[in-house]
Homo-oligomer: A and B are copies of this chain.
Amino acid sequence: MSCKVGRMVGRPRSEDARRAILRAALRLCERDGYPNVTLKGIAEEAGTGRQTLYRWWRTKAEVLLEAMTDLVADRLAPPPEDLEEFLRDTFALTDGVAGQVVAGLMAEAQSDEALAARLRAELIGPRRAALRQVILDGGPPPGADPELLVDMVFGSMWYRLLNRHAPVDAALARDITALLGRIS
């Protein structure tokens, strides 16, 4: 994003301001809910000028996408080999604020193609690739298309996350794993 090479002239970007903004955005999400968060509110909460926000991000969604990738990178270091454990770890991420934020990001991506592309590239794509690998490593059902399996597994997760008719929890991880194990 920012240019790291070449001579940097002028005052460098404040890392303090960046962190304060990301933390303020998550804090406001927790307090007011994703849809009620505004860029103006984030700036005030972070004690920063609004121009500083607009200089580095275009929308609140971009702010929260960056906050989420930072947060996911912290919590999801080792990818386990076991499918059920992998799903449990992934589903555990959707507890608390993070679940609300990713749902909000997916919602906002419906009206912002640039955000949709980044969401796919930085959050959803990597998770899909990881699940695909775990499935292939674990002796996949012979004739089944791995991409379809990924769609159905993460599809049920997103479906529950967005429609909220059932929880995304360890029980879901267990049931999905059992079902996939019974495909001839």
Q: How many copies does the complex hold?
A: 2
Q: Beyond A141-B182, A148-B179, A183-B182, is A159–B154 a contact (Cβ under 8 Å)?
A: yes
**Chain A interface helix/strand/loop/mixed:** helix
Taking the closest CB of chain B, its distance from the CB of A104, in whole angstroms, is 6
- List residues of chain B with CB within 8 A of the CB of A165: 120, 124
- List residues of chain B with CB within 8 A of the CB of A116: 163-164
* Among A5-13, A88-96, A106-114, the stretch in contact with B: A106-114
A120-B163 in contact (CB<8A): yes
Taking the closest CB of chain B, its distance from the CB of A179, in whole angstroms, is 6
Total interface residues on A, using CB and 8 Å? 45
Binary CB contact string for chain A from 27 to 44 against chain B (1 if under 8 A, 0 otherwise): 000000111100000000
A155 on interface, CB distance cutoff 8 Å: yes
Q: How far is the CA of A172 from the CA of B159 in the complex (A)?
A: 17
